[in-house]
């Protein structure tokens, strides 16, 4: 039994030894595996690190290759930031909509740039009463002012007035309430010169700064209204068209003034003539102040006997915006006596019949026939004023 016992012992001890050896072998294998794994990780990571430091070196290199730039100045001066932080409530829409003072100190370039801006959203988020901008291009005082005062009376909020007069005019003439403080920064204007259009663009730009202005009419000191304010206002505000006179004049005083150096932007076929006394909507006014393609050509090539004021707007509008244009003027004028200037009205020539004739014709208005072709008329001498004041209530209802 003992031997069997001992043999059994021997057997179990051998088995356990064998088992132990196997266990050692497993430990060893695990150890080797862990070691191999560690070494592999080490090799890989060292490789990556090398790569990384290489690319770091590279960026450092390329950065140092760039020219050194001075630090940027802060976008807003410190004091302005302080002012903005003091009161947030004062930057309201109302402030933004308020037109700047008519007598600002913007130069033409600044003014046209600012005026050329328009809202991309067509609906107004506030109650907007559309106004008509009456723009007077004059040499001196608006001598018809007393008549215009009567015309505007009681319609405040539906119109705005702008006056561009010769800088040499010293303004000593007493200004009536409607015209008081409505002179815009003006420059020298000569008859038939391109600086006349510069003045018209200056007037349009100033009027565009008021978001309420919807229609824009150019007038002179010798112009008079032919209807009362409510009639003129609804005629203009409800109109679907612009009133820039434009026609093709084959003679020397039309096509004869064309300059071939305006090619290829303006061809002889596109050249138009018309009275400078326009009436237009806000969209077209924006296009006129923003035009940087056609106007420079007129500045360059329409000098001397070209008479830019009779050709720039008719040509520009006929090329690009003919669709909305009626091609006629709203300002009545008498060319029947011939010559380069229209007839002037003397005191004795101002009668009820003459005015009635100007007020009735046959025209198209919004594609319909109308008897009211003209809203304004020229040229009335200062001496006609007292007579007009007397006739106005009878004929014009104001
Ligand atoms: C901010 O401005 C508004 C209007 O101009 C004024 O009523 C208000 O008192 C001002 N608030 C402060 C804190 O200055
Ligand atoms: C300027 O004013 C003076 C006096 O105030 C006047 O005599 C002169 O005629 C005026 N000049 C013009 C161009 O209006
Ligand atoms: C304005 O003139 C029109 C005719 O053109 C007339 O029917 C209307 O009554 C006048 N309005 C006023 C307020 O006088
Ligand atoms: C425009 O025309 C419409 C319809 O004829 C009229 O109701 C409206 O009062 C007119 N607007 C103005 C400003 O006259
Ligand atoms: C105005 O003139 C242009 C040509 O310059 C023409 O295409 C257009 O039909 C005219 N518009 C009207 C209303 O007569
Ligand atoms: C033309 O007149 C008719 C009838 O008076 C009117 O129904 C139509 O709306 C008018 N057309 C335009 C474009 O004003």
- Tell me the C-alpha distance between 4 and 119, whole Å: 111
Measured in Å, residue 234 CA sits from the centre of ligand 6 at 15
Query: For ligand 4, which residues put their CB under 6 angstroms from it?
Result: 234, 237-238
The one-digit pLDDT tens for each residue of the chain (398 residues) are 444 555 555 545 554 555 565 656 667 667 677 666 666 666 665 655 555 444 444 445 455 556 677 777 666 555 555 555 665 655 688 888 888 888 899 999 999 999 999 999 999 999 999 999 999 999 999 999 999 999 999 999 999 999 999 998 876 666 789 999 899 999 999 888 999 999 999 999 999 999 999 999 999 999 999 999 999 999 999 999 999 999 999 998 999 899 989 999 999 999 999 999 999 999 999 999 999 999 999 999 998 888 999 999 999 999 999 999 999 999 999 887 877 788 898 888 899 999 999 999 999 999 999 999 999 999 999 999 999 999 999 999 99
Q: Closest by alpha carbon to 150, among 357, 345, 386?
A: 386
- Closest ligand, as measured to the CA of 364: 5
Ligand 1, atom 4: nearest CA belongs to which residue? 90
Ligand 5, atom 5: nearest CA belongs to which residue? 318
87 phi and psi angles, rounded to 5 deg: -145, 110
- Tell me the C-alpha distance between 363 and 328, whole Å: 9
Measured in Å, residue 397 CA sits from the centre of ligand 3 at 6
Ligand 1, atom 11: nearest CA belongs to which residue? 87
224 phi and psi angles, rounded to 5 deg: -130, 155
- Tell me the C-alpha distance between 106 and 363, whole Å: 41
From 167, 172, 175, 183, the mutation candidate for ligand 2 (largest count of ligand atoms within 8 A of CB) is 172
Measured in Å, residue 237 CA sits from the centre of ligand 4 at 8
Q: Which atom of ligand 4 is nearest to the CA of 130?
A: 13
- What's the predicted TM-score (pTM) here? 0.78
As beta bridge partners, residue 131 has 213
Query: For ligand 5, which residues put their CB under 6 angstroms from it?
Result: 246, 318, 322, 325-327
For residue 156, count other CB atoms closer than 10 A to its CB. Answer: 8
- Tell me the C-alpha distance between 245 and 327, whole Å: 4
The angle subtended at Cα 309 by Cα 315 and Cα 321, nearest 5°, is 30
- Closest ligand, as measured to the CA of 365: 6
């Amino acid at each position: 039994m003992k031997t069997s016992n001992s043999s059994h012992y021997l057997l179990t001890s051998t088995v356990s030894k064998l088992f132990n050896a196997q266990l050692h072998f497993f430990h060893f294998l695990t150890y080797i595996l862990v070691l191999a794994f560690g070494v592999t990780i080490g090799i890989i990571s060292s490789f990556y690190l090398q790569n990384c430091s290489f690319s770091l070196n590279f960026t450092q290199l390329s950065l140092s290759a760039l020219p050194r730039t001075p630090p940027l100045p802060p976008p807003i001066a410190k004091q302005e930031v302080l002012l903005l932080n003091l009161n947030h409530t004062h930057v309201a829409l109302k402030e933004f909509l308020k037109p700047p003072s008519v007598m600002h100190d913007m130069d033409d370039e600044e003014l046209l740039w600012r005026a050329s801006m328009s809202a991309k959203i067509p609906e107004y988020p506030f109650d907007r009463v559309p106004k008509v901008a009456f723009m007077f291009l004059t040499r001196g005082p608006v001598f018809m002012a007393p008549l215009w005062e009567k015309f505007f009376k009681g319609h405040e909020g539906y119109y705005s007035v702008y006056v561009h007069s010769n800088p040499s005019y010293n303004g000593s003439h007493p200004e009536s309430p409607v015209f008081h403080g409505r002179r815009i920064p003006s420059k020298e204007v000569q008859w038939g010169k391109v600086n006349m259009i510069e003045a018209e663009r200056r007037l349009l730009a100033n009027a565009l700064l008021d978001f309420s202005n919807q229609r824009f009419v150019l007038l002179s000191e010798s112009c008079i209204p032919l209807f009362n304010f409510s009639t003129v206002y609804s005629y203009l505000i409800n109109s679907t068209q612009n009133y820039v006179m434009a026609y093709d004049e084959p003679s020397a005083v039309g096509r004869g003034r064309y300059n071939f150096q305006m090619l290829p932007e303006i061809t002889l076929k596109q050249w138009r003539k018309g009275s400078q006394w326009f009436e237009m909507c806000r969209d077209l006014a924006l296009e006129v102040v923003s035009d940087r393609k056609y106007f420079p050509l007129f500045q360059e090539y329409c000098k001397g006997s070209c008479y830019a004021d009779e050709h720039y707007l008719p040509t520009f509008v006929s090329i690009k915006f003919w669709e909305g244009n009626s091609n006629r003027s709203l300002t009545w004028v008498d060319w029947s006596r011939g010559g380069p200037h229209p007839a002037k009205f003397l005191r004795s020539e101002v009668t009820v019949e003459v005015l009635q004739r100007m007020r009735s014709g046959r025209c198209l208005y919004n594609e319909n026939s109308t008897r009211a072709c003209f809203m304004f008329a020229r040229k009335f001498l200062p001496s006609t004023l007292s007579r007009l004041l007397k006739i106005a209530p009878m004929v014009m209802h104001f």
